[in-house]
C-alpha cells in the first residue's frame, strides 16, 4: 500500500517539500514536530497509521 505524501506546509525548519506519514511519526517521536501544530488532515493520517500499527502489533502477539 503506497504511503500518502503531505506537502510540507507545517515545518519550515525541514527542507523536504513533501513528507510521508512514517517520517511525520518519526519526527513526532523525536520532538521535531508537535502534534497540535500539524494540519488536521495530517493529524488524521497519523492517527489512522498509529491505529493500523497497533492492530498489526496486536495480531503479532496472538
Q: How many domains does the chain have?
A: 1
Residues contacting 32, CB < 8 A, separation 6+:
11, 14, 26
CB atoms within 10 A of CB 28: 15
Count how many Cα atoms sit within 13 Å of the Cα of residue 30 in the half-sphere of its side chain. Answer: 7
Distance from C-alpha of 21 to C-alpha of 6, rounded to nearest angstrom: 8
pLDDT digits (tens, 9 = 90+) for 12-22: 999 999 999 99
Higher pLDDT, 9 or 59: 9
How would residue 62 be classed by pLDDT, with cut points 50, 70 and 90?
low
| Full domain range(s) for residue 23 | 5-60
pTM over 0.95, yes/no: no
pLDDT digits (tens, 9 = 90+) for 35-61: 999 999 999 999 999 999 998 877 777
How long, in residues, is the chain?
62
Amino acid at each position: 500500500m503506497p504511503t500518502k505524501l503531505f506537502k510540507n506546509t507545517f515545518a519550515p525548519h525541514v527542507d523536504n517539500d513533501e513528507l510521508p506519514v512514517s517520517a511525520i511519526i518519526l519526527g513526532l517521536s523525536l520532538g521535531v514536530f508537535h502534534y497540535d501544530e500539524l494540519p488536521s488532515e495530517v493529524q488524521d493520517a497519523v492517527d489512522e497509521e498509529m491505529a493500523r500499527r497497533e492492530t498489526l502489533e496486536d495480531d503479532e502477539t496472538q
